[in-house]
Amino acid sequence: MMNKKILPENTQMSEIESKNRNSLIENINIFKTNKNDMRFFTAITLPLILAACGGGGGGGAVSPTPDSGSSSGGSSSGGSSSGGSSSGGSSSGGTQANAGYYTATADVDNYIYDVSFSGSGVVSGDDGNVIITDFDASSDTITLRGSDAPSSFGTGGSSNVDVASTIDGDTVITIGSDNDKTGTITLKGISDSSSVVVNAEAGDADAGAPVIDLESGTVTAAAAGEVFEYSVKFINGVPVANDGEVVINGFDVKVDKLIIKSDSLPSGYGKGSLLSTSGVDVTTDASGGTRIDFGANADGSSGSITLSDVSDTDLTTIDLVFEIVSPTVVGTQVDIDSASITATADSETFVYDASWDGDEVVGSDGDVTISGFSLSSDKLVILTGGSIPSGYDRSEFENNSKGTQQIVVDAINNKTVIYFAPNSEGVSSTLTLDGVADENDALNIVFGSSIGDTVAASAPSSDTSSADTTSTDDTASTDDTTTTDDTASTDDTTTTDDTSSTDDTASTDDTSSTDDTASTDDTTTTDDTTTTDDTASTDDSASTDDSASTDSTTPASYTVVNIDASGESTVTATADAEEFRYEVDSSGVSQEGAFTVTIDGFDISSDKLTLVIVGGSSNLTTQEFDALSGVEVTSDGLSGTQIFFAPDSSGQSGGLTLTGVEESFDDTWTATTYTVEIIADANITG
């Protein structure tokens, strides 16, 4: 599922906004000064007014610290200049401080941040990274909210809440003890950390920052802070992607968070471990973004995350953490209830019941044999139902102190046997994968106390259960080198197609995407086995096949968006695969007008840009179009791809911007990561 949003403003707009924001801050400061004066006036005059009216009995001194239990900012009985305390009462009014940017008002502000308490300290900061501007330490407060808030609370020491000033003249509140679940609150311009009041109160957490579940495609971050989740599995200590190729545009290292989820995790594995793991690469892509390539699956497939607007191959500025989740089910869940099971061709998760005796895993389902298990697509979940340590993995299973738990690879008999710890009667159960010798430790085996989410299975690869055990498929050179053969399952098993040189070498057949993707051509057995089709001139030489270019034909999968604007405008892409058509003439002059049209959310993996040459007779390549006099195409790594069309008769030029679409090229326009076509209108259909 593609996730698209409006892309961030370009640099020029950011500068304008910054100037406006500075003016606003100056005005707010004026109000803040008045706010302090008003507070002083009220503190003196209000008791006098009440006394004159016969009220205000028992009045004590007014504390400058607002009560965390009141949104109106009344008195507090437990305030402290360096981290006040509250008794953990009912939820106070205020601003829910989820990850992102906030600007304090001229009123008394209370920012509520959700945490997890344990005893008198905080275990984790759950709302991510927060940045607050114009915070007034004399009146504004921070409230840490959690269901088990202590009766008294103070920052520092064992509370796991550190309040410290920075060299930049800010105050940063670091919350949490777990490196994977910490958060920060930055108070801009507050140089005296001792003046900041931090309270604690009992209450239920809100929904928190928006969570974006990554799968594949391009996602654009919003202005507010977000949590991006990507799923991996650990195979032999290497994180292997469950999700696909993902690009995140507009990722803000100050408030956004990237969580790598897995149902197993080697002890102590974190960001530093990721950088040093063999098979994982953290590099800079062609546009200067940070790309994380995860390890390869048994079939060689992998996945990656690209932060297009962040250059940080050391990951020092990126809030990236690992999170252990309950064992997920990939594909179809198969609960083992017999001694002999045969796997299907689909992705399956086999669930074997066991128990945790406090030290070892004891099998409960007895001796079981699974035939046809695929290392590339199938999964084993050992469900203990007890208090097995979180993240318990294969290495801990095999390296137990008693040596009774083992995973034995029998290459001679082509099988892998899992030996569980003996039960109270001294009997040990086994789980055998018949036909699979896991010599490369590629087995996806996970231990846990309960089943978590069910996730979609990856597309079937050529390395199926039968492929694991059949050498014929792996060694056929003609099979490996023929692209149409690799994607067509029927074609893969048909020797007639593999040896037919006429079909494989026909250039018109290979270059015509319509021919390559036509299911009737690739998958029809009559086509594969009939010599008439291999030699028929209608297939190889038909002009309709060769010349009916996919360049000029809109695939059925595209939704056509005809750009028709009368001034500066923005077109926002949807989640559908779309073809954006923009009209020019043969000289490269815009036919839409002398203004800029911006396309937000253009998805490089599924969308298409078509420049339609009005009155043209032939198509152009991107290089040929860029070479036209007055045409300029740039991609500076910041403003997206910008097309400046040739000037019209009055010297005015139109423009087209694809925000977030960055690609490096030298002298002329080269689009290798997204689809662009320049087509004469006579060749347009659909």
Alpha carbon distance 463, 374 (integer Å): 8
| Radius of gyration in angstroms for the set of CA atoms belonging to the chain, rounded to a whole number | 32
Under DSSP, is residue 415 helix (H, G, I), strand (E, B) or coil?
strand
Mean local confidence (pLDDT), 487-508: 37
Mean local confidence (pLDDT), 399-415: 87
> Side chain identity at 437, as an amino acid letter?
A
**DSSP one-letter string for 127-165:** S-EEEEES--TTT-EEEEEETT--SS--SSGGG-EEEEE
Instruction: Write out pLDDT tens, residues 316-325.
Output: 999 998 988 8
Q: Across 116-130, 302-316, 377-391, 650-664, which has the greatest mean pLDDT?
A: 302-316
- Residues 6 or more apart whose Cβ sits within 8 Å of residue 133: 25, 101, 102, 103, 104, 188, 189
Instruction: Write out pLDDT tens, residues 221-279.
Output: 988 899 999 999 888 889 999 889 999 999 999 999 999 999 888 878 888 899 999 99
Cα separations in angstroms, 530 against 76, 497, 521, 552? 89, 9, 12, 31
Res 529 pLDDT > 60: no
Q: Are 325 and 260 in contact (CB under 8 A)?
A: no
**DSSP one-letter string for 174-237:** EEBS-TTS-EEEEETT---GGG--EEEEE------S-EEE--SEEEE--SS--EEEEEEEEETT
Name the more confident of 470 and 34.
34
Instruction: Write out pLDDT tens, residues 190-203.
Output: 999 999 999 999 99
> For the ranges 166-170, 304-308, 565-569, which has the lowest average pLDDT?
565-569
Tokens for 414? 């082509």
Tokens for 53? 């009216």
Alpha carbon distance 474, 472 (integer Å): 6
Res 300 pLDDT > 90: no
Q: Where are the beta strands (DSSP E) in 585-661?
A: 596-600, 608-613, 632-635, 641-644, 655-658
Tokens for 400? 């137990």
Res 77 pLDDT > 50: no
pTM over 0.75: no
pLDDT in the model for residue 558: 86
pLDDT in the model for residue 455: 67
Over the chain, what is the mean pLDDT? 75
Mean local confidence (pLDDT), 17-44: 42
Alpha carbon distance 216, 145 (integer Å): 35
Alpha carbon distance 432, 418 (integer Å): 6
**CA-based nearest residue to 387, from 449, 450, 325:** 449
Res 555 pLDDT > 70: no
% of the chain at pLDDT higher than 90: 38
Element (H, E) at 487: helix 483-487
